[in-house]
């Protein structure tokens, strides 16, 4: 028997998904709750084979914190996350946190069985729509990385120094340029990278290098 923990704070969605799961799986025990706290109160003696987690948080940080909490309390239980909208920038962080499956709500009826079967065999599952969007996202990022119009070699070098915390005066001395010249280049970097400060530049610049 497969034991599935179904977590969603929207009861209508949870009831609908419970109906689908009961139709799709003949030999299954379904443990429902609206969040981790209520699950542990209601099902304190049981550990599911799989968690299915609805992503209804308003921010990325909340989504990741929820997953991290489940991973901390149930480190050996695979997690499938379902989301209402396609968010390609969530895929890689989710899987880095230990999520095993990621699908969209509109595809639940068609893909949930495959997702559950895959994660139980320790294989990740990503729905085709998200795969397509992720590949497009990566291709776009790679295009930006190889496009010389984004940052010139000199701008890239200065951006690296800026993200390392180096001051304009230090960079000017290191490169044998006037501080005013470095300040101008710094401004151009901010414009091209669409950032307003060093913190934002560091985040965007490092993302460009790691994608």
pLDDT in tens, 91-130: 888 998 999 999 998 888 889 999 999 999 999 999 988 8
Pair (126, 22) in one structural domain = yes
* pLDDT at residue 156 in the model: 85
* pLDDT at residue 148 in the model: 40
Q: Which residue range forms the structural domain that includes residue 40? A: 2-133
Boundary of a domain, candidates 106, 133, 160: 133
CA distance 194 to 174: 26
Pair (86, 19) in one structural domain = yes
The angle at the Cα of 134, spanning 18 to 115, to the nearest 5 degrees, equals 25
pLDDT in tens, 54-99: 988 877 888 889 999 999 999 999 999 998 776 667 888 899 899 9
Determine the distance from the C-alpha atom of residue 121 to the mean position of all C-alpha atoms in its chain, rounded to a whole number. Answer: 22
Pair (79, 102) in one structural domain = yes
Strand ranges (DSSP E) for 38-176? 50-54, 79-83, 101-104, 125-126
**142 domain residue, yes or no:** no
User: Taking residues 200-208, what's their average pLDDT?
Assistant: 75
Pair (180, 121) in one structural domain = no
* pLDDT at residue 15 in the model: 92
Pair (157, 91) in one structural domain = no
Count CB-CB contacts under 10 A for residue 66. 21
Strand ranges (DSSP E) for 16-164? 28-33, 50-54, 79-83, 101-104, 125-126
**139 domain residue, yes or no:** no
**143 domain residue, yes or no:** no
**29 domain residue, yes or no:** yes
CA distance 107 to 127: 8
Q: Which two tokens stand for residue 155?
A: 């701008």
Selection from 168, 165, 171 nearest residue 201 by Cα: 165
CATH classification at residue 174: 1.10.10.10
Q: In whole angstroms, how far apart are CA 101 and each of 91, 149, 208?
A: 10, 37, 25
pLDDT in tens, 172-199: 999 999 999 999 999 998 888 888 899 8
Collect all residues with Cβ–Cβ distance below 8 Å to 171 and sequence separation of at least 6.
158, 161, 162, 177, 182
Pair (125, 162) in one structural domain = no
Pair (105, 164) in one structural domain = no
Total-model pTM: 0.66
* pLDDT at residue 147 in the model: 44
Pair (101, 25) in one structural domain = yes
Instruction: Considering only residues 207 and 36, tell me which one the structure prediction assigns the higher pLDDT.
Output: 36
CA distance 158 to 151: 10
Pair (126, 167) in one structural domain = no
**153 domain residue, yes or no:** yes
Collect all residues with Cβ–Cβ distance below 8 Å to 182 and sequence separation of at least 6.
158, 168, 171, 172, 175
CA distance 110 to 131: 16
**173 domain residue, yes or no:** yes
CATH classification at residue 127: 3.40.50.2300
Pair (20, 49) in one structural domain = yes
pLDDT tops 50 at residue 162: yes
**90 domain residue, yes or no:** yes
* pLDDT at residue 173 in the model: 93
**105 domain residue, yes or no:** yes
Q: What is the mean pLDDT of the chain?
A: 86
Query: How many domains does the structure of the chain reveal?
Result: 2
Q: What percentage of residues in the chain have a pLDDT greater than 70?
A: 89
CA distance 22 to 116: 13
Q: Which residue has the tokens 């960079």?
A: 171
Instruction: Considering only residues 26 and 74, tell me which one the structure prediction assigns the higher pLDDT.
Output: 74
pLDDT tops 50 at residue 149: no
């Amino acid at each position: 028997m497969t034991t599935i923990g179904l977590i969603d704070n929207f009861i209508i969605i949870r009831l609908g998904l419970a109906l689908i799961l009961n139709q799709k799986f003949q030999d299954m025990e379904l443990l429902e709750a609206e969040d981790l706290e209520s699950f542990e109160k209601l099902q304190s003696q049981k550990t599911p084979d799989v968690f299915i987690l609805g992503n209804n948080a308003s921010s990325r940080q909340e989504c990741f914190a929820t997953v991290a909490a489940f991973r901390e309390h149930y480190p050996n239980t695979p997690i499938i996350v379902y989301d209402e909208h396609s968010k390609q920038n969530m895929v890689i962080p989710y899987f880095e946190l230990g999520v095993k499956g990621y699908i969209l709500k509109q595809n639940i009826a068609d893909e949930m069985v495959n997702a559950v079967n895959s994660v139980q065999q320790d294989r990740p599952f990503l729905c085709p729509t998200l795969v397509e969007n992720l590949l497009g996202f990566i291709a776009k990022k790679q295009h930006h990385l190889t496009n010389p119009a984004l940052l010139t070699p000199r701008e890239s070098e200065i951006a690296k120094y800026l993200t390392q915390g180096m001051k304009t005066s230090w960079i000017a001395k290191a490169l044998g340029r006037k501080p005013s010249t470095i300040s101008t280049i710094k401004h151009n970097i901010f414009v091209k990278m669409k950032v307003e400060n060093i913190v934002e530049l560091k985040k965007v610049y490092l993302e460009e290098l790691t994608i």
